Amino acid sequence: MANNNTDILDRINITDLHLRTIIGINPEERTNLQDVLINITLFVNTKKAGETDEINDAANYRTITKNVINLVENSQFFLVEKMASEISKICLSNEKVVRCIINVQKPSALRFARSVGITIERNRSSIDAK
């Protein structure tokens, strides 16, 4: 059942998830694992979980994180845009997550830059519309 009380949205932050994967368009990027840094903000109503202290009333961010790790470590995306989009789908597959912000950084993408990345924001309707 979807979260109907969307007037109150709290944020769950998953910060600096550091993973290694195949990502990029250049030949060496297609064979060598590279670091990616992922930050996720999940917008949920945590009121009931805060009152009951029951995991069934919460968005289980551990399960979401495990699914993101599995996706990223077993993927071979060409673009960080695609990776971010697929991560958002995982987040929004949890019925308690109303909206998410996904930031994917690729530290080795540009010489002289600490990192290059993308931040996307998706909600349930943006995923359902496809």
For residue 104, the domain's CATH number is 3.30.1130.10
Q: What is the rounded average pLDDT for all residues in the chain?
A: 92
Domain that holds residue 103: 10-128
The answer to whether position 1 is within a domain reads no
The answer to whether position 35 is within a domain reads yes
- 68: exposed, middle or buried (Cβ count in 10 Å: 0-12, 13-18, 19+): buried
The answer to whether position 98 is within a domain reads yes
- Number of domains observed in the structure of the chain: 1
Alpha carbon dihedral 129, 102, 77, 106, in 10-degree steps, equals 160
The answer to whether position 2 is within a domain reads no
Q: What is the pLDDT of residue 7?
A: 67
Could you give the CA distance from residue 64 to residue 74 in angstroms, rounded to a whole number?
Answer: 16
The answer to whether position 32 is within a domain reads yes
In tens, the pLDDT along 37-51 reads: 999 999 999 999 999
The answer to whether position 51 is within a domain reads yes
